[in-house]
Amino acid sequence: MPDMPDILRLAQASAEHAARRQAVIARNIAHADTPGFRAQDIPPFADIVAVTGSAPMRATRPGHIAPPAAVGALRALPVSGTEVAPDGNSVSLEVEMVRAADARRQYDFSLGIYSKSLDILRASIANADTPGYRRKLAAFEEAARGGGVAQGRVFLDDRALPRVHDPAHPLAGADGTYAGSNVDLVVEIADARQAQRSYEANLRMFDQARQMGRALMEILRR
């Protein structure tokens, strides 16, 4: 069972992939009338994970070195097997609309994981001092109807509960201790803050690319 930080990193990478794909789609639409322009796309997220063995990581600071397996993972590549117009342009607005819908679906799924993961993190933070409370982890899957995210089975962290010494506590045993919570408050708060920042950043990126694509589509339809 992946730990919460792993789930959040995967959701972040998936959301970024969808946002970048939406930007590529917007660029394709912008060049729908450009002679010789070939439509581009980036590899499916599942293929990138299969090749790299994990979600593609990125350098967040100038001094960071990008992992070799992830270099170029999100690079836009020409789409093969598409019909080419007499002027050499291979952009199809209908195809781009389908791709945009697919990118939106992937993005909504990623944000759904963000949202539900944050709910679980908040619950853990709220119960950090609750005796006997175990940190929760959850599996996620695509909802059978209407898309979106469905929370699957909830797993409890099986790490040992710390013993808290407080003879005056109602749950204290003969040795003056009781079972505390295995929630690490510092870790949970850090994960929640990182998830919130990533959520907001990716949301802005995707919305900007989507709005650009819509505006260009309206211009081309006139």
108: containing domain: 4-221
Asked if the model's pLDDT at residue 63 lies above 60, the reply is: no
Q: Tokens 């006139």 label which residue? A: 222
Confidence (pLDDT) at 70: 44
Angle at 205 between CA 45 and CA 118, to 5 degrees: 75
- Residues 62-89, buried b or exposed e (16+ Cβ, 10 A)? eeeeeeeebeebbebeebeeeeeeeeeb
Q: Are 55 and 9 in contact (CB under 8 A)?
A: yes
Confidence (pLDDT) at 71: 38
- 40-50 confidence digits (pLDDT tens): 998 888 777 76
One-letter amino acid for residue 154 of the chain: V
| Alpha-carbon span 150 to 141, nearest angstrom | 5
Domain count across the chain: 1
6 contacts: CB under 8 Å, gap ≥ 6: none
- 79-129 confidence digits (pLDDT tens): 988 899 999 999 998 898 888 888 888 888 888 887 778 888 888 899 999
Three-class secondary structure of residue 79 per DSSP: coil
Q: What is the mean pLDDT of the chain?
A: 78
